[in-house]
Amino acid sequence: DTEVTQTPKHLVMGMTNKKSLKCEQHMGHRAMYWYKQKAKKPPELMFVYSYEKLSINESVPSRFSPECPNSSLLNLHLHALQPEDSALYLCASSQDTRGRGNQPQHFGDGTRLSIL
């Protein structure tokens, strides 16, 4: 069982829909991450939240909108997505980002997103 919970596990949506992905952790971590992973590729970082503030946006299109309502929750709001956005979206958390970089990230099982 993973300590980072992502819902839903699968999502199919049209290009005009609005949907949200949810991620939750109860490990007391203060850094949370969104990654996008295409088939047979490594995860690509999208966003980093540190202490509920957005600290890194890797030039992600505005049709992806992250939100961190509190230290345990991370959402990714989706609107007007394109077929090429179909991928596995992974959430991760770590103790924080203020250390020396030796803290591992804990990943959820992801949401598999398909855009019709």
Name the site residues for other proteins (rule: CB under 8 A): 2, 4, 6, 31, 33, 40-43, 45, 48, 50, 55-56, 90, 92, 94, 96-110, 112
User: Which of 52, 109 has the CB closer to other proteins?
Assistant: 109
Beta carbons within 10 angstroms of residue 39's beta carbon? 7
CB of 50 to other proteins, least distance (A): 7
User: Which of 17, 105 has the CB closer to other proteins?
Assistant: 105
CA atoms within 13 A on the CB side of 42: 2
Cα end-to-end span (Å), the chain? 31
CB of 80 to other proteins, least distance (A): 27
User: Which of 16, 59 has the CB closer to other proteins?
Assistant: 59
DSSP β-bridge partners for residue 79: 18
CA–CA dist 106, 92 (Å, integer)? 5
